[in-house]
Amino acid sequence: MSSRGRVSALLPDFPWDTIASVKARAAAHPDGIVDLSVGTPVDPVAPLIRAALNSVAEVPGYPTTHGTPELRAAAVDALKRRYGITGLDPAAVLPVIGTKELIAGLPRLLGLGSGDLVVIPEIAYPTYEVGALLAGAQVLRADGLTRLGPQTPALIYLNSPSNPTGRVLGIEHLRKVVSFARERGAIVASDECYLGLSWDSRPYSILDPEVCDGDHTGLLAVHSLSKTSNLASYRAGFVAGDPELVAELLEVRKHSGMMVPYPIQAAMTAALGDDAHEGQQRERYRARREQLRNALAGAGFRIDHSEAGLYLWSTRGENCRTTLDWLAERGILAAPGDFYGPTAREHVRIALTASDERIAAAAERLRTH
């Protein structure tokens, strides 16, 4: 192994390993830890989704990589109904084994390598960088097109609403990115996993006709059912957009055996066909957000962006690791901003994904700081 090299040597340290000691300190609180460091759903999966999963549990055969026609049709209908996306061909929808898997593998699946440039947000979900590094591509952090100068990127990642900041990109910004990418022959991959969790402003999909003029060429939208449908454990997501790009991804994934299990496809179909459970979950997060936001403000935190998504991007105007220690003394665990980029060292990401009881406990500890 040493003579051939280790793939892991290409990658940064796994970020969560760096806060183990802080987590232990928070866990020592007499009333238990309130873990707000990760975006893992804690609420139950809706009964109709569980019923759909169970209804095909006895099916023994291999699933198709492309997904069932019912699943792809349900995705098209849901994107139109929920987000106003029109003109999407069901053939241009591809289920994936959780969107993290897709993002980590996307540069390689698209054939990118050492001569290619991948652009990611300045403050970004770490897997964008990981995927580029695994492909041997170069990485540039940039929020504005002027940072690119004369360079021609192969792939541009967008993330709106953002993880971790909750920032929502305006429609004109999105249009400029699409125009720039088409001028230079770049692919745009828009991570839209938090699109259904808007609070203070409306986020737009890259596939929205107001953004792309109804032309999906060169565009990929990445969607997850982990958040508003609580399906993180199901590993249920999909990518949609440019029919040629999706067809290429499908062809490579067929050879690789990258198939979403058939019962999961049935569960996804049910989830995409029902808006009621999604609305209920969104309201749970809205209530938790208000409670935490008020408590954080009362404890001297400033909250930046956070117009949408599952997190409050918070700062006390100090190094994020100092803030992490302050919170841990009160039994609260957050994610340090330096996980997400060098310009985020004074922020912490505080998740809304804890039970009502734990959110209330965190709010009380912040109020009595």
pLDDT value at position 7? 79
CATH number at residue 177: 3.40.640.10
3-state SS, one letter per residue, for the chain: CCCCCCHHHHCCCCHHHHHHHHHHHHHCCCCCCEECCCCCCCCCCCHHHHHHHHHCCCCCCCCCCCCCHHHHHHHHHHHHHHHCCCCCCHHHEEEECCHHHHHHHHHHHCCCCCCCEEEECCCCCHHHHHHHHHHCCEEEECCCHHHHCCCCCCEEEEECCCCCCCCCCCHHHHHHHHHHHHHHCCEEEEECCCCCCECCCCCCCCCCHHHHCCCCCCEEEEEECCCCCCCHHHCCEEEEECHHHHHHHHHHHHHHCCCCCHHHHHHHHHHHCCCHHHHHHHHHHHHHHHHHHHHHHHCCCEEECCCECCEEEEECCCCHHHHHHHHHHCCEECEEHHHCCHHHCCCEEEECCCCHHHHHHHHHHHHCC
The band of 2, judged by pLDDT with boundaries at 50, 70 and 90, is low
Q: Is residue 230 part of a domain?
A: yes
**Do 291 and 264 share a domain, yes or no?**
no
Do 262 and 298 fall within a single domain? no
User: Which tops the pLDDT comparison, 304 or 8?
Assistant: 304
Asked if residue 318 and residue 173 are part of one domain, the reply reads: no
Domain membership of residue 111 (yes or no) is yes
269 and 281: one domain?
no
Say what the pTM is: 0.94
Same domain flag for 263 and 324: no
Residues 190 and 216 in one domain: yes
Structural domain includes residue 284: yes
Domain total for the chain? Answer: 2
Query: How large is the average pLDDT for residues 73-95?
Result: 97
Tell me: do 107 and 229 sit in the same domain: yes
Domain assignment of residue 232, given as a range: 58-273
Q: Indicate if 269 and 288 belong to the same structural domain.
A: no
Instruction: Indicate if 217 and 296 belong to the same structural domain.
Output: no
The CATH number of whichever domain residue 288 belongs to comes to 3.90.1150.10
Judgement on whether residues 256 and 141 belong to the same structural domain of the protein:
yes
The last residue of a domain, from among 273, 295, 323: 273
Same domain assignment for residues 201 and 128? yes
- The predicted-structure confidence for 293-338, as pLDDT tens digits, reads as follows 999 999 999 999 999 999 999 999 999 999 999 999 999 999 999 9
Residue 272 has pLDDT above 50, yes or no: yes
Residues 308 and 341 placed together within one structural domain of the fold: yes
At residue 18, the pLDDT reads: 84
